[in-house]
Structure 1
Amino acid sequence: MSADTASRTTAPATQPRPSDLGRQIGVISAVSFMLIAAVVGVGALGGRPVQDLQGGALDSDASYLAPASQAFSIWSVIYVLMVAYAVWQALPSQRADDRQRLLGWWIALTAVLNGLWLVAAQFTTLPITVLVIVLLLAALGWTFHLAVRRPPRGVRQAVFTDITVGLHLGWVALATVANSSAWFTSIAPASWGEAADPVAIAVIIVVALVGIAIALGGRGRLAPGLAMGWGLTWIGIGRWSDDPMSQPIAIAAWIAAAVVVLAPIAITAVRFARNRT
């Protein structure tokens, strides 16, 4: 093994600081808050399920850009990965890790904002949910940027940090569009009219461009594109089979799903080919 390879697979030997333990506890606390908020958000503690909140504006048939309800099962994957990260980063071996020091508090912030969105949906208004999810998207984007800037050392760092943050980012990027669409629809439910198809397709094109930008910025990381592609696929299914129905929107969503998934694969292939030459 070369010295360069060894340096990428072995964490630098640094001394623990008092703040390191606080960071580990902070991450666990943030993820715990997110899970409690999720329980509240699904109505398990007496509240109403998300699809019934805000007059049904967040339901899968409330707007042209709402994914079918099956799409939201991705939250289970994200929550499992977030819990796994919280447990893993709490290990003594991760306490003084330089990458945990870089990412830990930012991942904790994304967990808190994730939970706050559910609290906002349950107890406040649609505009506030849009504000919270935009803040969550910004925090995830910066966290992902930091993760790319300092690449993972080994498989565990890649899974527990990069894949976790990447899936979270990709899904929230798509969810921000759906949340904003729900808000605009609630303000002027009749305004879509004949403009529904071109407006929604234009938004989907922008989403696809954002997906390509994330793939470029992420140097071919696949997780964000997979999450975005998942959501776009279910937007297509929703518009093909449920009200409000629109075959053009469905087809556009499926094309965009293919684009955001294939973009990081193509970028990785190009990078690999360049490294071979």
Structure 2
Amino acid sequence: MNRDLLRQIWVSVSAVLCVYGTLLGIGVIGTRVEESSGGALAADATLLAPGGPAFSIWSVIYLGLFSYTVWQWLPANKTAPRARAVGWLAGVSMLLNAAWLLVTQVGWIWVSVAVIAILALTLGLIVRRLTTIPATGLVERVVVDGTFGAYLGWVSVATCANVAAAGDNSGWSFGALADQVVAVVVIAAAAGLGVLFAQQFGGRLAIAGAAGWGLAWIAVARLTDAPDSTLVGVAAIVAALLVVAAALLLRRHAPVGGRIA
């Protein structure tokens, strides 16, 4: 079988399995994520859990992944350098997303941390490859760069929340104030990662926007819901602004092909 055709089929099958995982995660054929793993991943479970509405970003990401799956089937893209560069990894990212949803269904919270960490690394590799090969037009920038940029930005914040959920589920606590300080340190690390992404990937707005979105909803949750923490909430607001500001400042130095995302 032609390798390009095999890659296209791989992406499509991965997309179907990703949809299956999503149906599990939203409770259509399984338990909703926030109710799985003993509630460890609920919006009010830890100091680093984003507020519930934050997860609506998955609708945008899934739409983008569907659009990407269609895009890579277009005749002009079958042998395109970018399709070849990221197609296999794109499929891996969708399978990892489904795997994360599956392991949370059975309560394997620390396994979910490993899965989401590998997913974040995979997405980083995808965006790195997209950065080295310029996009050929606006549609490609939005569908390909925008999708995987938002995917990476959100997952980078979600990884922090996932680690916090696993730790809390394992009974980790350093005391009320110390837990807040640790949460602020993690948020600072997430902000630093966002700045690093801006530097490495030319100030891509999709990455910064999605990461900023996640951080902003951590702020909303801590300032308006339990467990409440003004310290963590303010830190998350500052982090969100820093990530977006870094992308805007570094955007002027981005290659033209990378500026949309």
> Fold conserved (TM > 0.5)?
yes
**Contact 2:202–2:253, Cα closer than 8 Å, also in 1:** no
Shift of residue 270 of structure 1?
Answer: 5.2
List aligned pairs for 1:197-212, cutoff 5 A: 197-212=180-195
Q: Secondary structure at the match of 1:220?
A: coil
Asked whether the equivalents of residues 63 and 182 of structure 1 are also in contact (C-alpha less than 8 Å), the reply is yes
TM-score, normalisation: structure 1: 0.89
Q: Structure 1: 5+ residue runs without aligned partners?
A: 1-16, 273-277
The structural deviation recorded for 1:193 is 2.2
Q: Show the counterpart of 2:62.
A: 79
Pairwise mapping of residues 36-115 of structure 1 onto structure 2 (< 5 A)? 36-45=20-29, 47-115=30-98
Q: 2:129 aligns with which of 127, 146, 149?
A: 146
Name the larger-Rg structure. Answer: 1
Q: How does 1:1-277 map to 2 (within 5 A)?
A: 18-45=2-29, 47-269=30-252
Residue 140 of structure 1: CA displacement? 0.5
What amino acid does structure 2 have at the position aligned with 1:67?
P
Superimposed CA distance per residue, residues 202-253 of structure 1 (whole angstroms, 9 cap, x where no aligned partner): 1111111100000111111111110000000000000001110001110110
- Contact 1:27 1:86 (C-alpha < 8 Å) held by counterparts: yes
Please list the CA deviations of residues 177-213 of structure 1 after superposition, one character each: whole Å capped at 9, or x if unmatched.
Answer: 0000000111125434220221111111111110000
Contact 1:239 1:246 in 2 (8 A): yes
Task: Output the CA distance in 2 between the equivalents of 1:203 and 1:235.
Answer: 12
Q: Indicate the percent of aligned positions where both proteins have the same amino acid.
A: 37
Would you say how many aligned residue pairs link Structure 1 and Structure 2? 255
TM-score by length of 2: 0.94
Please, what is the CA RMSD of the aligned residues? Answer: 1.4
Contact 1:65–1:200 at 8 Å: present in 2 too?
A: yes
Shift of 1:69: 0.5
Runs of 4+ in 1 over 4 A off after TM superposition: none
Q: Aligned with 2:204: secondary structure?
A: coil
SS of the equivalent of 2:252 reads: helix
